[in-house]
Amino acid sequence: MRSLRTQVRPLVRLGPAENDHRHACRVAAGLFVPGLALLVAGRPDLIIYAVFGSFAGMYGRAESDRLRIVHQAQAGAVLVSGVGAGVLLASAHAAPWVLVATEVGCASAWSLLSDRLGLRPAGPFFGIFALGATATVPAGRVAPWAAVSICAATVLFCLLVSCASALRSRERSGRREVERGPGALVHAARYAVAVSAAGAGGLLLGVEHANWAMASAAVPLAAIGIRHRTAPGIHGVVHRGIHRVLGTFAGLAVTAALLLPQLPDTALAVIVVALLFPTELFMARHYGLALGFFTPLIMLMTALAAPAEPLALLRDRAIDTLIGVAAGIAAAIVIRRRAAADLRRR
């Protein structure tokens, strides 16, 4: 019984508050103005591109002002690249297997880049999420250059918000621990295996949004710390996966309450902007709770960009989440064993 409590406690414990509201305000402000501009222009359907640009503001939560701005600029470049690749695939009407192959390659490359630069949040999740989500937006809704411009402009606005925040404080610059060498390569291989397995599983099951499965596959692997890349513990990976599943399912219940009444597009876009603040407020304290806000944010912006039958959308997200989390945990277990065996042979 004590062992069970020990395992369950990390799943329900809310981490300590450390000025999370300040960081959440910066992130929310980074989306508010671009989102408002799109609403004024009468294009709430394009808010998906602004949302992905605003994710640049999520980086560097606990870092000094200078380092946070540098890392947000670097992460912003990844996000713009992801959106750029996604809209090009959409405009080319690329086959689903092309999307899977592209995401696998980008997951590995962006994992290595994230480790090299010391980005936090770690891993390629946001980059491949931006790529996959924008690749599934119907071609012709917006010119590719316009979609990329919306994302890039939002990234720049997020950097402006961070610079303005930095003027009000005098924090010393800090350094992040970075990963180079075999550990980073092993971890990049995990992402490649997990994303490819999740993408293949989604395609085989005929799920419309296999990109969600591939993004979910990256989530458990982000729990592997830098010092444990070659032979990680599995508890953190499993806990992150459980948070992903439970948080997503709770968020889907919220999504159903918002989508089924068929609210006007403008109202849905306003809700998307509003949900970013609580998402980031709880992201570091309890990942599962944060997903209760993040999931409806993602689902609503997806419904605006590519309208679909709500129940089918909810079903696909649930199935894809299970596929992706299973693939991520399996990749961590399998490659952990192989890496440990290689170390013993040395």
Place of tokens 């670097």: 74
The span from the first CA to the last CA of the chain, in angstroms, equals 40
What is the structure's pLDDT at 345?
A: 47
Quote the pTM value. Answer: 0.90
For the residues of 177-238, what is the DSSP string, one character each? ----SHHHHHHHHHHHHHHHHHHHHHHHTT-TTHHHHHHHHHHHHTTS-GGGSSS--SHHHH
pLDDT for position 1: 47
Query: Residue 96 CB: number of other CB atoms within 10 A?
Result: 15
Structure tokens at 316: 């696909």
The Cα–Cα gap between 194 and 184 comes to 15
Domain boundaries, the chain: 20-170+177-345
Q: How many CA atoms lie within 13 A of 198 on its CB side?
A: 38
In order along its 346 residues, the chain shows pLDDT tens digits of 455 455 555 655 665 566 778 899 999 999 999 999 999 999 999 999 999 999 999 999 888 889 999 999 999 999 999 999 999 999 999 999 999 999 999 999 999 999 999 999 999 999 999 999 999 999 888 999 999 999 999 999 999 999 998 887 655 445 555 555 567 888 999 999 999 999 999 998 877 778 999 999 999 999 886 554 545 567 889 999 999 999 999 999 999 999 999 999 999 999 999 999 999 999 988 899 999 999 999 999 999 999 999 999 999 999 999 999 999 999 999 887 554 444 444 4
In angstroms, the CA 17 to CA 35 distance is: 28
Q: Report the half-sphere exposure of 307 (CA within 13 A, side-chain side).
A: 9
Q: Please spell the DSSP secondary structure of 76-128, one letter per residue.
A: HHHHHHHHHHHHHHHHTT--HHHHHHHHHHHHHHHHHHHHHHT-SS-SSHHHH
- Cis omega (within 30 of 0) for bond into 307: no
Tokens of 62: 């606990």
Pair 196, 326: CB distance under 8 Å: no
Q: For residues 315-341, b (16+ Cβ closer than 10 Å) or e, as one string?
A: ebbbbbbbbbbbbbbbbbeebbeebee
